[in-house]
Amino acid sequence: MQSPVLIMDNLITQLQDLLSQIEELMKRIDIEGKAKLATELEQQASAPTFWDDPSSAQQTMQQLSRLNSQVDRWEKTANRINDAIELVEIADEDMQADLERETEALVTLVDSMSLQAMLSGDYDSEDAIFAIHAGAGGVDAQDWAHMLERMYLRWMEQNGYKTEILDRSDGEEAGLKSVTISVKGDYAFGYLQSEEGVHRLVRLSPFDSASRRHTSFAKVELWPDIQTDIEIEVNEKDLRIDTYRASGAGGQHVQKNDTAVRITHVPTGIVVQCQNQRSQAQNRDRAMQILKARLFEMERAKQEAEMAELKGENVDAGWGNQIRSYVLHPYQMVKDHRTNVEVGNTSAVLDGRLADFMEAYLRSKVGG
């Protein structure tokens, strides 16, 4: 059995290692640079003319809030480790159990922070536009899309993200044909990129009178919701704009006139819809933002594929691949086909516990 002195010495060594990890990660994601940028934005916000352009000012304030939140989180973690080191150095045996628990908590926290540091892509820190589409399979596929909507809304709620349904098309009998969701919060795009692709469900169909086993598919799409103006040229001649009456649950806010907007980008065939805003003009503006985000992401994916081809790498077909299977019968298992992560508790996964899949995907991206 280790002596109390040796246990305390080991705790100090462990905490010092954690501090080194955090300091290295803070350098890697340039927390110092982010803090300086936040100071500059705060100076801009104090200018008398700052709110003359409300749209630009709001974007600046959102950027400032995100930077302050990120810097604060990392600095508080480093301070907490330093405080623990100081306590261990002066503590007596009576505090040993508490300090061991605090060290274990800090190990978990640093592991989580190191995962977040992997989200260093150009748009990983951005908000996201998240869409689910029922695949072939009729009412079963539409019900599966609805199950996925609930799963992701639960994950978003559990992780503090603000969500807004931009457009929703219900199924005729049950479920939904498609839904588009705005997801706002730190690293929304970075975390949700693990979910983009085709999701497969195997179960006994509740819509089959013979209770036979059915396989259903749904597709998840994702784009960074970049609040600043995206440099994408969209020719008005390439657009077909239709208006229609907003539908779905909305109580007193559902409009009785044609406020919902559908924009079709004819050259690419991309169709975006928005019906959640109060006016047709607001829905049109938001739909144009989504269209630009989709065109921007399409161009970025094309450039990445071309670069990979030049390097001689195997070019992935992207979201067309089946990424995950959810089997509810004859056994219960959710398996990610990219990382081979398997979870037997299907109820927990469908209730939004997606961390195992997201973390494995992010680690595989960086070879971790």
In tens, the pLDDT along 247-270 reads 654 444 444 567 899 999 999 999
Low-confidence ranges of the chain (pLDDT < 70): 1-2, 227-231, 247-257, 304, 306-321, 366-368
What does the angle CA 40 – CA 41 – CA 45 come to, to the nearest 5 degrees? 120
Report d(CA 240, CA 216) in Å as an integer.
32
How many CB atoms lie under 10 A from the CB of residue 255? 16
Residue 28, domain extent: 4-117
Establish if 122 belongs to a structural domain.
no
The terminus-to-terminus CA distance of the chain in angstroms comes to 35
Side-by-side strand order, sheet with 162-170: 162-170, 176-184, 127-134, 213-225, 197-204, 322-327, 333-336, 342-343
Q: Are 153 and 48 members of one domain?
A: no
Which pLDDT score is estimated for 140? 94
In the block, tokens 């070019």 appear at 315
**Same domain membership, residue 233 and residue 190:** yes
Residues 6 or more apart whose Cβ sits within 8 Å of residue 303: none
Please report the pLDDT score of residue 261 as a whole number: 93
Domain count, the chain: 2
Of how many residues is the chain composed? 368
160-203 confidence digits (pLDDT tens): 999 999 889 999 889 999 999 999 988 899 999 999 999 999 99
Q: 271-294 burial by CB neighbour count: b if 16+ within 10 A, else e?
A: ebbbbbbeebeebbebbbbbbbbb
Looking at the fold, whether 188 and 304 belong to one and the same domain comes out as: yes
pTM of the prediction? 0.69
CATH of the domain at 104: 1.20.58.410
CA-CA-CA-CA dihedral for 184, 187, 192, 194, to nearest 10: 180
Same domain, 227 and 143: yes
| Amino acid found at 177 | K
